[in-house]
Amino acid sequence: MLRQILAVSSMSLRSIPQRLGTSLVIVVGIGGVVAVLVALLSMSKGFEYTLKGTGSDARALLLSAGVTAELSSYIGPDSVPLLRELPGVRRGADGKPLASAEIVVITELRRHGGDVNVALRGVEPAGIAMRPEVRIVEGRLFRPGLQEVIAGRSARQQFSGLQLGARLQFRGSQWTVVGIFDSGGDAHESELWTDADTARSAFGRPGASGVLAELAPPDPATALQTLKNAVTADPRFQVDVQTERHYFTAQSQGFTEQITLLTAVVTAIMAFGAVFGALNTMYSAVSARQSEIATLRAIGFSGLPVMVSVLAESIALALAGGAAGGALAYLLFDGMSVSTLGQNFTQVAFSFAVTPGLLLRGMAWALAIGLIGGFFPALRAVRLPVADALRAG
């Protein structure tokens, strides 16, 4: 039986070039499904990587209770000094707490002829010291008290007018771009940074959007719980405490869920069409080979090898289409830089990420379509009356 299956399947696969035109219907159709599937999911994956790669589990972010984004948070100026001194916050060599009361506001920049919202983050010196991943790659750091900004590398790539020395108009005054920073491709690279006190004065925000604090060693998890307990025990504070990484990971969930839903709908529709294409092609293949199949049956081959041979042809064509679609998605989209609106209502720049896992998922879809598209034609090939098929041939 195994020899029969191998012999008939080999014969079926070798005959594909004779039906190249119709066979390409399966390859192209399934290739399109896989390319769209992988491209959409790579956008979601890239956005997820960017936000999940932002922040650290060794730093805590304190936001006003109940809010889900820094832009919606506000901590009053009376609470900020008290929060800095809470147990669980690490202290530097000078004995001062390593905490940065930061302000996040919306600014407008140009991109492709239109205005987009970009986050301007006011950070304190401790905020720079706590983030070793942030490096000035061009120019210099802003100076306190002056209306100077540094721009993330991704922001400069996506938005206009962020070259060194550029003048930006915020709140009726001019701000100068004095540096470009790199933070490993995370969400902060989509922002502009400036001195916190300067931003508070310019935008009339005396408090802070949030307080970023480095957790005390040796165990950040224990320090985080200590900090949470201290906040909960003091009725003056209406503040939620979480790790910085947890906050940014949560920011990716909404966008990821939307893209996943969109991907499922679009892929299902396209896959439905690809299945019909595969069915038509394989029915045509069975019809073209009916004399050959009948002859094999007449000389003693059983129905199973014939059925397997039709399925093998359908699967081979489907996998070829899946490989072509995956390769196309990788070549066109992997590493492509774009930006989208995040939960802060500001643009987040990120790159598409075509991962091995996504390519395998695309091949799994291709395999499923090939199996469905080949099953019923294979069943028809087995049920084909031998005498009628020989007379028709």
Which of 237, 259, 282 is the endpoint of a domain?
A: 237
**Residue 156, in any domain of the structure:** yes
Encode the chain (393 residues) as per-residue pLDDT tens digits. Answer: 677 767 666 767 777 777 777 788 888 889 999 999 999 899 888 888 888 888 899 999 999 998 988 988 999 999 999 999 999 999 988 889 999 999 999 888 876 667 788 899 999 999 999 999 999 999 999 999 999 999 999 989 888 889 999 999 887 789 999 999 999 888 899 999 999 999 999 998 899 999 999 999 999 999 999 999 999 999 889 999 999 999 988 887 777 777 888 888 888 888 888 888 888 877 777 676 666 666 666 666 666 777 788 888 888 889 999 999 999 999 999 988 887 766 555 778 888 999 999 999 999 999 999 888 888 887 877 776 655 545 554
Whether 227 and 292 map to the same domain: the answer is: no
Whether 72 and 206 map to the same domain: the answer is: yes
Whether 133 and 194 map to the same domain: the answer is: yes
**Residue 244, in any domain of the structure:** no
Whether 103 and 153 map to the same domain: the answer is: yes
**Residue 295, in any domain of the structure:** yes
Whether 109 and 207 map to the same domain: the answer is: yes
**Maximum distance among all Cα pairs of the chain, rounded to whole angstroms:** 98
Whether 352 and 220 map to the same domain: the answer is: no
Q: For residue 211, what are the contacts with CB-CB under 8 A and spacing of at least 6?
A: 61, 62, 75, 80, 83, 84, 99, 100, 101, 102
Whether 12 and 114 map to the same domain: the answer is: no
Q: What is the pTM of this model?
A: 0.79
Element (H, E) at 265: helix 244-288
Strand ranges (DSSP E) for the chain? 59-64, 99-111, 114-123, 135-139, 148-152, 167-170, 173-182, 192-195, 210-214, 239-243, 337-341, 347-351
Whether 383 and 321 map to the same domain: the answer is: yes
Whether 299 and 361 map to the same domain: the answer is: yes
Domain of residue 304, residue span: 2-52+251-392
Which of 237, 267, 295 is the endpoint of a domain?
A: 237
Whether 286 and 198 map to the same domain: the answer is: no
Report CA dihedral (182, 187, 188, 189) to the nearest 10 degrees: 40
**Residue 205, in any domain of the structure:** yes
Whether 83 and 154 map to the same domain: the answer is: yes
Whether 34 and 88 map to the same domain: the answer is: no
**Residue 245, in any domain of the structure:** no
Domain count of the fold of the chain: 2
**Residue 61, in any domain of the structure:** no
